[in-house]
Amino acid sequence: MRQSLLRPTRRARHARKSSLLSRPAALAERIERAHALDPVIHGLSDTVVRALPAGSRTDALHGVPFGQPAHPALVRLPLGCWTSAVLLDLLPGTERAAGVLIAAGVAGTAPAAATGLADWSALHQDQQRVGLVHAICQGGAASLFLASLAVRAGGRTAVGRALSASGLALATIGAYLGGHLALRLGAGTSHADQVSHLSGLGWHDLCGLAELPDRHPVRRQLGYLSLLVYRQGTEVSVLSDRCSHLGGPLHQGRILTERGTVCVACPWHGSTFAVADGTVVHGPATARQPSFETRVTADGRVELRPRP
């Protein structure tokens, strides 16, 4: 009796399990808090970070040259091919076409996985837990489609179709988790402040030029907006302080010169932005940091307005 009060009954456990299955968002939220995944995450994340040092190759995997993450665009190839193959399996005489689509989808998993791993290695831990399960689902789906190809080659088409259908089901679960990661947890979206909505039109007074230290980043407030302010002599550069990658505080970042341009590197994951106009110099951020035009008035006040 005492034990039954402490432990959930079998019926309660069953009810909880079926409620999780019927509400996929609840299942995804449980994965966010699944600390049991952390040892795997630490090991894998360290390996990926070591394998992908900062530089143009890693920037390309993040999607810096394209201005948005490359992973979502690349996953369309395997998912599109596999969905089409399973649909073709419903029609007679389409075995060869279905096989070609499955093979193309399996080949497309390599760039999708490489870009996904690069992005995953620079996420918060709750995001990484969901990302890990997403990757396991997509890896399992690729294995099932590969097995489907193998048995089809041996003439066992019916088994191949069953494997393909299972692979698509698993890939759909993985895609749901990918959507949760991007749309609910904000991986891959810009976390910079919506400057044009949060500051009024026209020039705004910020502070006196003499109040700003020379060549040292500081934070200043403009209404709701936190700003990174960097002064070099009489030139003042201003960026939104919330890093577009995951919202890190840029005013705590390191100032460095890259390709002859003064930049700030985010203290959280190292995204590097030109202080003059917020251009992304290195990822993982892909979205330009919102920046401001500035001017110094005759009486030494710094004024700014959002850069169009």
Residue ranges that bind ligand FES, judged by CB under 6 A? 122, 243, 245-248, 266, 268-271, 284-285
Chain centroid to CA 194: 19
Which residue, 268 or 292, has its beta carbon nearer to ligand FES?
268
Which residue, 24 or 249, has its beta carbon nearer to ligand FES?
249
Could you tell me the smallest distance in angstroms from the CB atom of residue 259 to ligand FES?
Answer: 19
Q: Which tokens in the block code for residue 28?
A: 């995804």
Q: Which tokens in the block code for residue 6?
A: 């402490």
| Cα–Cα dist 182/177, whole Å | 9
Could you tell me the smallest distance in angstroms from the CB atom of residue 278 to ligand FES?
Answer: 13
Helix ranges (H only) for 23-94 are 24-32, 38-51, 56-62, 71-74, 76-88
Beta strand extents in the chain (DSSP E only)? 204-208, 218-222, 225-232, 235-240, 254-258, 261-265, 272-274, 280-282, 291-296, 301-306
For helices 125-153 and 157-179, angle between their N-to-C axes, nearest 10 degrees: 170
Which residue, 138 or 286, has its beta carbon nearer to ligand FES?
286
| Cα–Cα dist 277/73, whole Å | 27
Could you tell me the smallest distance in angstroms from the CB atom of residue 73 to ligand FES?
Answer: 21
Which residue, 135 or 250, has its beta carbon nearer to ligand FES?
250
Backbone angles phi, psi at 176, to 5 degrees: -60, -45
Backbone angles phi, psi at 160, to 5 degrees: -60, -40
Which residue, 24 or 267, has its beta carbon nearer to ligand FES?
267
Q: Which tokens in the block code for residue 226?
A: 């936190």
Which residue, 67 or 300, has its beta carbon nearer to ligand FES?
67
Which residue, 139 or 247, has its beta carbon nearer to ligand FES?
247
DSSP symbol at 289: P
Chain centroid to CA 170: 21
Could you tell me the smallest distance in angstroms from the CB atom of residue 304 to ligand FES?
Answer: 22
Could you tell me the smallest distance in angstroms from the CB atom of residue 225 to ligand FES?
Answer: 17
Could you tell me the smallest distance in angstroms from the CB atom of residue 248 to ligand FES?
Answer: 3
Q: Which of 120, 290, 100 is nearest to 192 (CA)?
A: 290
Could you tell me the smallest distance in angstroms from the CB atom of residue 214 to ligand FES?
Answer: 25
